[in-house]
C-alpha cells in the first residue's frame, strides 16, 4: 500500500472534507439539539483543565451572589475545592462564635429615668444595671404682707446614682443635693444605702435612707402635688436617718394588698456625727391597698386610670433619749447634760386615685415624755404637737391639673412656746402643667398661713419649673 493510499483512508476516517468540498459553518448548541433525535443524544464532552491548573476561589469577603454563580441545580455551597487546613479551622471558629451568646450591655435614656446601662439576664430580666439621674427645681417666690419681696432660686438640685445586680436582688443608691436647701449637718448627702431582697416578703435596707413613717415622707420630692410641702411635715414628720429597715410592698403575695415597713435608726437625722447618750428611733408602718398595688409614692393621678385605687396607712414610732427638741428634728442639744426625755409618734393617712381625681388626708401627733428638761438654769423644751392636712387634685385634661390643700398644726399641752405661737392653719391652691409627666412640669401655687383666729399671717406666690433627667 502506497503512502498516499494510507493518507487517503486516514482522512476519510477523521471526517475531513476534501479540498473541493465547502466547509460548513459550526453548529450551535441549539441546532445540534434540534437535529438530535430523542433518545439518541449522547453525553456531552467534558472540558477539563490541565492537571496542574487550580481553579481560583472567590474572594472570602464577598457574598456568594457576587463571588460565584451557582448552577441551576446548586442550592448551597461554593463549587471551589476543599480549603486548606488553616482556612478550615478558621471557619470552624467563626461558626462557633456565631452560635455562642454575646452579652452586649444596653444603654438607654428617657426623660425622668436618666441614663441607664444594663446587661441582659436570664428570663428577660437584667443581670446588672446602673442608672444616673438628675433633678432641678427652678423657683421664683414672691411674698406679700409683712416683708414683701421676690427671690429666684435653684432648689431640689440633686444627682442620683443607683444600680442593681443579681437580677435586682442587690440594689444600691447614692444621692446628693447640690442646692442650699438640701444641706444638713454640713453636707448635702441624701442617700447612701444598699438593700438585699431576701424574698417576696422581706427586703433588708442598710444605710442613710428616707424614714418612711407617713404618707408625706413616702412621697418622693419629684412627685409633689404642689410646689411646697405641708407646713406640719417639717415639724411632725421625719427626715432621712442612718439605720436598718425591713420591708415588703407585697407581703404574702396578695397583689400589693398588704405592705409593711419596720426600721431602727439613729434618731438624729442625716449627716449627724454628734456623740450623745444612747438612744434609738423605732418605726413601724402598715399599708393596706384594698384594690391592689399602685404607685402611692407620687401624688396626683396624671395617668387618669379607670381603676379605683386606695391606700390606707397606719404608723407608730418611739424614740428614747432624744437629742433634738423635736425628736428626730428640731434643735440639737447635748443630752449628756440633761435628764432623759422620750418621744412617741402616731399617724394615720389615706390616699385615693381615680380617673384623674386625687384625694389624700393625714393626721399626725407627737408627744414627749416631759414638757421640758433642765440643767441648772438652762431649759430644753419638748415639742408636743399634732397636725393634719387634706389635699386634692384633678386632671382637667391630659396635661392640666388643679390642686389645693388645707391643713394646720397645734401645740399639745405644756410645750415649746414657739410651737404654740406658730401659725395654725395653711391654705394652698395651684395649677400644674405636665409636659412629660412629673419629669417635666410647670407649677404655680398661691399659699397663705393663718393664726388660730384665722388672721392672715403671711402669703405668697410661687412659680416653679421642674426637670428630671
Any idea what the CATH number is for the domain that residue 207 is in?
Answer: 2.40.160.10
Given this model, what pLDDT does residue 53 score?
Answer: 39
pLDDT greater than 90 at residue 64 = no
Does residue 90 fall inside a structural domain? no
Does residue 41 fall inside a structural domain? no
Our count of domains for the chain comes to: 1
Does residue 266 fall inside a structural domain? yes
pLDDT greater than 70 at residue 73 = no
pLDDT greater than 90 at residue 356 = yes
146 vs 452: CA distance, rounded Å: 18
Q: pLDDT tens for residues 430-466? A: 999 999 999 999 999 999 988 877 777 788 999 999 9
Does residue 427 fall inside a structural domain? yes
Does residue 297 fall inside a structural domain? yes
Does residue 367 fall inside a structural domain? yes
217 vs 210: CA distance, rounded Å: 7
Does residue 46 fall inside a structural domain? no
Given this model, what pLDDT does residue 11 score?
Answer: 39
Q: pLDDT tens for residues 389-400? A: 999 999 999 999
Q: pLDDT tens for residues 299-329? A: 999 999 999 999 999 999 999 988 888 778 7
Does residue 31 fall inside a structural domain? no
Domain range for 286 is 106-468
* 243-247 mean pLDDT: 97
Amino acid at each position: 500500500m502506497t503512502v498516499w493510499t494510507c493518507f487517503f483512508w486516514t482522512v476519510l476516517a477523521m471526517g475531513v472534507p476534501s479540498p473541493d468540498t465547502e466547509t460548513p459553518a459550526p453548529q450551535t448548541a441549539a441546532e445540534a439539539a434540534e437535529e438530535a433525535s430523542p433518545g439518541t443524544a449522547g453525553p456531552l464532552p467534558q472540558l477539563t483543565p490541565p492537571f496542574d491548573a487550580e481553579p481560583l476561589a472567590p474572594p472570602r469577603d464577598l457574598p456568594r451572589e457576587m463571588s460565584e454563580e451557582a448552577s441551576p441545580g446548586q442550592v448551597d455551597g461554593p463549587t471551589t475545592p476543599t480549603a486548606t487546613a488553616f482556612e478550615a479551622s478558621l471557619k470552624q471558629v467563626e461558626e462557633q462564635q456565631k452560635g455562642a451568646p454575646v452579652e452586649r450591655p444596653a444603654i438607654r435614656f428617657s426623660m425622668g429615668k436618666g441614663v441607664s446601662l444594663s446587661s441582659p439576664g436570664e428570663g428577660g430580666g437584667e443581670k446588672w444595671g446602673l442608672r444616673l439621674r438628675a433633678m432641678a427645681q427652678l423657683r421664683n417666690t414672691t411674698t406679700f404682707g409683712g416683708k414683701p419681696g421676690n427671690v429666684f432660686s435653684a432648689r431640689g438640685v440633686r444627682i442620683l446614682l443607683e444600680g442593681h445586680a443579681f437580677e435586682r436582688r442587690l440594689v444600691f443608691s447614692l444621692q446628693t443635693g447640690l442646692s442650699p436647701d438640701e444641706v444638713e449637718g454640713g453636707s448635702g448627702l441624701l442617700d447612701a444605702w444598699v438593700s438585699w431582697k431576701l424574698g417576696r416578703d422581706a427586703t433588708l435596707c442598710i444605710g442613710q435612707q428616707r424614714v418612711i413613717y407617713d404618707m408625706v415622707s413616702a412621697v418622693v420630692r419629684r412627685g409633689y402635688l404642689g410646689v411646697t410641702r405641708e407646713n406640719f411635715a417639717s415639724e411632725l414628720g421625719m427626715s432621712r436617718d442612718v439605720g436598718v429597715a425591713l420591708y415588703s410592698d407585697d407581703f404574702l403575695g396578695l397583689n400589693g394588698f398588704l405592705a409593711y415597713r419596720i426600721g431602727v435608726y439613729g434618731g438624729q437625722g442625716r449627716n449627724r456625727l454628734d456623740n450623745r447618750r444612747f438612744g434609738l428611733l423605732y418605726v413601724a408602718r402598715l399599708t393596706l391597698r384594698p384594690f391592689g398595688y399602685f404607685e402611692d409614692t407620687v401624688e396626683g393621678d396624671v395617668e387618669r386610670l379607670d381603676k379605683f385605687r386606695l391606700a390606707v396607712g397606719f404608723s407608730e414610732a418611739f424614740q428614747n433619749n432624744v437629742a433634738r427638741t423635736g425628736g428626730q428634728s428640731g434643735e440639737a442639744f447635748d443630752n449628756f447634760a440633761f435628764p432623759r426625755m422620750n418621744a412617741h409618734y402616731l399617724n394615720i393617712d389615706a390616699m385615693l386615685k381615680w380617673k384623674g381625681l386625687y384625694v389624700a388626708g393625714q393626721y399626725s401627733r407627737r408627744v414627749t415624755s416631759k414638757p421640758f428638761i433642765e440643767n441648772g438654769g438652762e431649759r430644753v423644751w419638748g415639742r408636743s404637737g399634732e397636725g393634719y392636712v387634706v389635699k386634692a387634685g384633678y386632671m382637667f385634661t391630659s396635661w392640666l391639673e388643679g390642686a389645693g390643700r388645707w391643713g394646720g398644726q397645734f401645740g399639745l399641752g405644756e410645750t415649746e412656746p414657739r410651737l404654740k405661737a406658730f401659725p395654725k392653719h395653711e391654705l394652698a391652691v395651684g395649677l400644674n402643667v405636665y409636659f412629660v409627666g412629673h419629669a417635666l412640669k410647670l407649677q404655680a401655687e398661691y399659699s397663705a398661713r393663718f393664726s388660730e383666729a384665722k388672721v392672715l399671717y403671711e402669703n405668697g406666690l410661687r412659680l416653679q419649673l421642674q426637670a428630671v433627667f
